[in-house]
Amino acid sequence: MSTEHVERREIPDATVNRLPVYLRVLNERAAMGQERISSEALAEQAGVSSAKLRKDLSALGSYGVRGVGYDIVTLADHVAGALGLEREWSVAIVGMGNLGRALTTYGGIGVKGFDIKWLIDDDPRVVGTDVGGRVIVPFEALRPEPGEGVIGIIATPATAAQQVADRLVVAGVRSILNFAPTVLTVPADVQVRGVDMAGELQILAFREQHSRLARSRTTKELLA
């Protein structure tokens, strides 16, 4: 914590997209009790080249020690700080079907920095029931406090997605993660990221087809 530095470099988009992977690896290693890691080892784990990793990290500042490597906890703090995880973000999941339930109980979201604050569904049969120890509320209950950072997750069928997006925007949400297979139209000051599962399959199919599997030596996961 306490990144009271100047923090004045523009972090490139491509770098931002990779920071979560680095953070995950760092947290895993920290949990294992490891204290230091080299750019080579961290890059290997994250599935990128070590040069790319060092370039990425140097955009946040100079937190490594030459000849030694990076202190895992320190680096994890700085990466988390750069991502804006010092403040707490509230998450509203809209659509409490299988997918919404899965996202709620799934370990990936209730992670440091994010608080699943609202589970929303308008079906009166599920409102009031429990999912993972949280109560499902109707849309009207989504009333962020002034200044509260809210991320809305759309887990409804495609047919309802645009309408949900509109209501999220009206409620003041400026960041949306869309799991429905539709393109959303929102005002320019609202950002949308879409997770398109069919698209992911199609991209895999393309690559296997063209056996464009020329990849890093021992291939690791890659994002985007």
Partner DNA sequence: GTCTGTGAAGGTATTCACAGCC
Partner DNA sequence: GGCTGTGAATACCTTCACAGAC
| Binding to a copy of itself, residues 11-40 (CB under 8 A) | 16-17, 19-21, 23-25, 28
Pick one of 26, 37, 64, 101: the residue that binds a copy of itself (CB under 8 A).
Answer: 101
| Cβ atoms of residues 46 and 25 within 8 Å | yes
Separation between Cα atoms, residue 83 and residue 202, nearest integer Å: 30
Q: Which does 15 bind (CB under 5 to 8 A by kind): DNA, a copy of itself, none?
A: DNA
Question: Is residue 219 exposed (0-12), middle (13-18) or buried (19+ Cβ within 10 Å)?
Answer: exposed
Q: Is 163 in the site for a copy of itself (CB under 8 A)?
A: no
Q: Is 167 in the site for DNA (CB under 7 A)?
A: no
Separation between Cα atoms, residue 196 and residue 190, nearest integer Å: 19
Q: Is 63 in the site for DNA (CB under 7 A)?
A: yes
Q: Which does 135 bind (CB under 5 to 8 A by kind): a copy of itself, DNA, none?
A: none
What Å distances lie between residue 133 and 116, 117, 128, 141, 155, CA to CA?
11, 12, 11, 17, 19
Q: What is the footprint of DNA within residues 1-30 (CB under 7 A)? A: 12-15
Separation between Cα atoms, residue 201 and residue 56, nearest integer Å: 28
Q: Which does 65 bind (CB under 5 to 8 A by kind): a copy of itself, DNA, none?
A: DNA
Which residues of the shown chain bind DNA in the complex (CB under 7 A)? Answer: 12-15, 38-40, 48-52, 54-55, 57-58, 62-70
